[in-house]
Amino acid sequence: MKIKKFIAKDFKDAIRLAKVEMGQDAIILQTKQIKTGGFLGLFAKPQVEVTVAIDDSLQVNLDKMRQVATPNPSSGIEEVIKTKINESKVNSSPKNNEDNLLNELNVLKNMMSDIKLQMYEVELTKGISDELKRFYDILVKNNVDKDIALQIVTSTQNQIENNTDRGYRTEELLLNTLQKFIDEIKPIEIKSNKKGSVIFFVGPTGVGKTTTIAKLAANIAFVDNKDVALITLDTFRISAAEQLRTFAEIINIPISVVFEPDDLLKTILEYNDKDVILVDTAGRSPYNDEHLAELKQFIDACNPDETILVLSAITDSNDLYNIYQKFNLFNIDKIIFTKLDETNNYGQLLNVIYEIKKPIAYLTNGQNVPDDIEIPDKLHFAKMLLKEGETI
- Does one domain contain both 248 and 367? yes
At residue 84, what is the residue type?
K
The torsion angles phi and psi of 306, rounded to 5 degrees, stand at -145, 145
Rounded to an integer, what distance in angstroms lies between the CA atom of residue 339 and that of residue 355? 21
pLDDT tens for the chain, residues 1 to 392 = 677 888 888 777 777 788 788 776 667 666 677 776 655 555 567 787 878 777 555 454 445 444 544 444 444 555 555 555 555 555 555 555 556 666 666 666 666 655 545 554 554 556 688 888 889 999 999 999 988 999 999 888 888 877 655 656 888 889 999 999 887 899 998 888 889 999 999 999 989 998 999 999 999 999 999 999 999 987 666 566 777 888 888 889 999 999 899 899 999 999 999 999 999 998 888 889 999 999 999 999 999 999 999 999 999 999 999 999 999 999 999 999 999 999 989 999 999 999 999 999 999 998 888 889 999 999 999 998 887 544 44
Q: Mark residue 172 as left, alpha or beta (left: phi above 0; alpha: psi -120 to 50; beta: remaining).
A: alpha
- Within a domain: 389: no
- Within a domain: 186: no
- Within a domain: 192: no
Rounded to an integer, what distance in angstroms lies between the CA atom of residue 120 and that of residue 1? 19
- Does one domain contain both 174 and 284? no
At residue 302, what is the residue type?
C
pLDDT per residue as tens digits for the range 335-389: 999 999 999 899 999 999 999 999 999 999 988 888 899 999 999 999 988 875 4
- Does one domain contain both 38 and 110? yes
Name the 3-class secondary structure at 43: coil
Helix residue spans in 194-331 (DSSP H): 209-218, 238-251, 261-270, 289-302, 317-327
Specify the pairing of strand 197-202 against strand 228-232.
unpaired
- Within a domain: 379: yes
Residues spanned by the domain of 244:
197-384
- Does one domain contain both 174 and 115? no
Residues 6+ apart with CB under 8 A from 138: 386, 387, 388
- Within a domain: 189: no
- Does one domain contain both 142 and 251? no
- Does one domain contain both 34 and 88? yes
Which residues, in sequence order, are bridge partners of residue 51? 5, 30
Rounded to an integer, what distance in angstroms lies between the CA atom of residue 227 and that of residue 191? 12
Helix and strand element counts for the chain (H, E): 14, 11
Q: How far is CA 7 from the centre of its chain?
A: 43
- Does one domain contain both 62 and 79? yes
- Does one domain contain both 215 and 362? yes
Please state the domain count of the chain. 3
Residues 6+ apart with CB under 8 A from 45: 9, 35, 36, 37, 38
- Does one domain contain both 334 and 223? yes
- Does one domain contain both 237 and 359? yes
* DSSP class of 165: -
Reported residue count of the chain is 392
Rounded to an integer, what distance in angstroms lies between the CA atom of residue 135 and that of residue 152? 10
pLDDT per residue as tens digits for the range 229-276: 999 987 666 566 777 888 888 889 999 999 899 899 999 999 999 999
Where is the domain boundary, 124, 140, 164?
A: 124
